[in-house]
Amino acid sequence: MRAFLKKDVLVYWRDRKQNIFSLVIPLILIVVLGLLLPNWIENPTSTLQLKAAMVVHDNEAAGLEQFQSSLKSRGLPDEEAAVLFELAALSPPVSLLNDMLKSDQIVSMVEWVELDEEAALRRLQSGEIQAIVTLPEDFTLHILNKTLLDEGNGAAISLTSDDPSIEVGVLQGIIEGFTQQFNASSAIAHAGTHSAVTLNQEAVLPSIGGVETIEGVRVLTSFQYFTLAVGAMFAMYVAANSANKAITEKREHVFQRILLSGSHPLTYLAGKIVATLMMSLLQLTLVILICHFVLDLFPGYSLEFWLGFSLLMMMMCLIVAALGGLFTAAMFRMNANTANAIIQALLLIIGVIGGNFAPIYILPDAVQQLWEWTPNGLWLSTMIQWIQQESWEAAINGMLGLSAFIIAIIALSVWTFPKRGRI
Amino acid sequence: MVPVFLAQWMKEKRSPYMVLIFISISIAAALLFGSNMDIKLKIDTFRGEGVTVEEAERWIDRLNESGAFIFSLRAEEESLADVRQGRSDMAVRLLKDDYRIIAVMESTNVELVQQHMQAVYHEEFRIMAAASHAEDELEFREAMKTYMEQPPLKLQSSTSSGSELRSYDMRLQLLFGFSLFLAMLTVGFRVNAMTAEKISGIWNRVILSPLTKTEMYLGHLTYSTLIGIVQITMVFLLAKYLFGFSLGHSFGMLAMIVVLYTMTIVAMSMLFTGILRTPEQFGAIFTSIVPIMPLISGAYMPPGTITNDVLLFIGQFLPLQHALDALIGVSIYEQGWTDIYLPLAKLLLMAVIFFGVGINLVERRRL
């Protein structure tokens, strides 16, 4: 077997170009994700930019005046009318809306232009602006009539846009939030007046909420997650590479010559498996180490942590080695293209289910159930628990499961690998 | 050209598994996104100290009235175990008029859930405060409810022609991204078959026949293009007629984009075959580069997520990016030819350059 191992290592060594490639690609990917993630996690909407027009048909001062005169004509007692008018003037709806839409947070996303309706529509159609917010005529009057006197049907802000884009969706969400809040307060005020409570009864809101962690559990950073997930994914591609190298040997009848020399066919497979183990160990270790030093992945973790970490890394590489054996066996059993398609499909599927491409919780429930039934998913889950809790119990449980996987995969590859006389 | 094309077809017919496998994965992906991606994110909650089931359920009902999440009540052990094992990114502990989000993983969703819960709790507090002053709490809530049925302020969203305003269809983007990505794999392996023929000596034997080299290349490359087009079209048709995706106003324009994209991918695979020596190297390197392309092009994330200039610049050199832009333009924004000619022109330019360089490299090398 040693001769075959030497052969496989030499095959890898002669193809340095490709090995450097497969080392560089995961690093690039982690850097890409690293550049993406901070923005994505801290402020998912910060980069959204939107140009929108504000069309105001309403005249706030005139609306207030009209409201005042309507109070008089209604023949309300002077005192009550004065209180109502004061309330109206205190926070007229248009000003509230304006304050909200022109607040710093919104302005950093939306660039407002004041236009009349025709110009706004023209620009919307030419694509210069993406949305129009329109306040209809007598907006102030209608709203005040509804909120303070409970008359009429209120009014509607209209949002016009032809782009079903994320940006417009966010703007819509902001305005919806505002109307919801506005309606809730006026509903409270309204229901309150019925039970004779003064209108300006504002409760002091207690501060609530907050994010907690579980005691004794460290928070997993997104860099840690993606380094492990991506590193493991590309380690699995090493298995596919090993199998690809077997195509050449199949084509050039290396395997037949090995059989003629009197060696057992499984020694060839064993050589492949051990070579894959070495390659994946090299690649995974380098990826994790480079990321650790560049991104400061595990600052100040204990020696015990690194011990368990290395053991788990070893387990992953053993899985990759076993997969390498299985893929090689597949290459010998069928047409290279079919085998490659199956390998790629398998890697994609277990990559997605195992959480190597995206965190597992975004997947549907049924798929989540399968997580720990894929070798890479079980490994990732065990690794996450180790980083968070450093409990040997969970780690050993995970390693037992992983060993079962390794044994099963190796058994499967030995079983499928062509026997003497079959080729 | 025709005999070469037919020879490829015969090979495919004898062993169609590769194309079938990739097509079925594309369909599986379409199915996954089509049926599940619009379901709201599930958040587990559990009762903290001194919170009764009724109270917890009332809060959960309030939380589920709006927002992009579904809160459900579970046992403390179960939900914490899921968080601890990384199966879910957070759980919520409901306290008496308060809550805590429990998370041991950095995640975008924590912030969003926090905002949503804060808004709902604050609104409820104000209602409770006002209700406590009221003589009859039930009557107060009843009055509020009837009032909210006819609220003073409403929001009307519409397009300029008066039809309903749709929201951005992330499912469609994912469907496009995935089918374009998997087509790259199929096409790549098909182009790779050409190098395999060179190595096995078939190529040399065909050269001896009266066929010209142009015809040989054309035969191979049209076949690869066609198989890619067939794969993408099948997924699109299934998405439209089986899963009810709305693919926009013009199937003709989509078809045009798909044809151009597939041609560019064939050219890109040619370039790879030119750079890499053996079909095995191609198999190893091509398959590990291709999965990165949709990530850099931002195919899996909502538009606007990628802001890094370097990434945006690299994205410009990926066919996937332009094809995706054009497909989204046509099907989501209902753009016309004048809007999408730029991505199409870029695709065409890329195809020409990749072909030119690729075939040159392939021809210059001795095998």
Q: pLDDT by residue (tens digit) across A204-221? A: 566 777 777 777 778 887
Interchain contact, B87 vs A360, CB within 8 Å: yes
Q: What is the pLDDT of residue A195?
A: 44
Least confident of A117-126, B130-139, B237-246: B130-139
| CA B67, chain centre distance (Å) | 23
Least confident of A83-97, A128-142, A387-401: A83-97
Interchain contact, B122 vs A205, CB within 8 Å: yes
Confidence grade of residue A198 (pLDDT, cut at 50, 70, 90) = very low
Interchain contact, A341 vs B152, CB within 8 Å: no
β-bridge pairing B41-47 and B69-73:
parallel
Q: pLDDT by residue (tens digit) across A356-412? A: 877 777 677 777 788 889 999 999 989 988 988 888 988 999 999 999 999 999 999
The helix (H) or strand (E) run that includes residue B154 is strand B153-158
Of A33, A201, A244, the CB nearest to B280: A244
* Residues A50 and A168: beta-carbon distance below 8 Å: yes
The CATH fold assigned to B40-149 is: D-Maltodextrin-Binding Protein; domain 2 (3.40.190)
pLDDT at residue A422 tops 70: no
Q: What is the pLDDT of residue B229?
A: 94
Residue A239 corresponds to which tokens in the numbers above? 């298995």
Q: pLDDT by residue (tens digit) across A301-323? A: 889 999 999 999 999 999 999 99
Q: What is the distance in angstroms between the CA of the first residue and the CA of the last residue of chain A? A: 20
The helix (H) or strand (E) run that includes residue A303 is helix A303-333
Mean pLDDT, chain A, rounded, equals 82
Sheet holding B153-158, edge to edge: A110-114, A50-56, A131-135, A155-160, B153-158
Query: Residue B135: how many CA atoms within 13 Å on its side-chain side?
Result: 4
Q: What is the pLDDT of residue A39?
A: 52
Q: What is the pLDDT of residue A379?
A: 94
Q: In angstroms, what CA-CA distances link A91 with A87, A107, A165?
A: 7, 21, 33
Interchain contact, B17 vs A338, CB within 8 Å: yes
pLDDT at residue B236 tops 80: yes
Highest mean pLDDT among A16-20, A126-130, B271-275: B271-275
Q: pLDDT by residue (tens digit) across A150-176? A: 777 788 888 888 777 777 877 888 888
pLDDT at residue A423 tops 70: no
Cα-Cα-Cα-Cα dihedral of A61, A67, A69, A74, to 10°?
A: 180
Interchain contact, A191 vs B143, CB within 8 Å: yes
pLDDT at residue B36 tops 70: no
Residue among B43, B28, B337, B345 nearest B174 (CA): B28
Residue B116 corresponds to which tokens in the numbers above? 């949503």
User: Which has more pLDDT, A214 or B179?
Assistant: B179
Question: With pLDDT > 70 as the criterion, what percentage of chain B qualifies?
Answer: 95
Distance CA B190, CA A257 (A): 30
* Residues B360 and B274: beta-carbon distance below 8 Å: yes
Q: What is the pLDDT of residue B72?
A: 85
- Chain A hits for B103, Cβ within 8 Å: 211-213, 219
User: What residues does CATH 3.40.190 cover in chain B?
Assistant: 40-149
**Global confidence as pTM:** 0.81
- Chain A hits for B305, Cβ within 8 Å: 36, 39-40, 44, 47
Q: What is the pLDDT of residue A210?
A: 77
- Chain B hits for A142, Cβ within 8 Å: 152
Of A195, A205, A337, the CB nearest to B125: A205
Highest mean pLDDT among A72-81, B27-36, B233-242: B233-242
Residue type, B116: H
* Residues B356 and B187: beta-carbon distance below 8 Å: no
Q: pLDDT by residue (tens digit) across A31-61? A: 777 666 655 544 454 566 788 888 888 887 8
Q: pLDDT by residue (tens digit) across B324-358? A: 999 988 888 878 888 889 999 999 999 999 999 99
pLDDT at residue B266 tops 90: yes
* ipTM confidence score: 0.79
Q: What is the mean pLDDT of residues B212-226?
A: 91
Least confident of A89-93, A413-417, B31-35: B31-35
Residue type, A40: W
Confidence grade of residue B2 (pLDDT, cut at 50, 70, 90) = confident
Residues within 8 A of B (CB atoms), A 289-308 only: none
Q: What is the pLDDT of residue A201?
A: 45
Q: What is the pLDDT of residue A192?
A: 67
Please report where in the chains the tokens 């890697």 appear, as a residue: A347
pLDDT at residue A199 tops 50: no
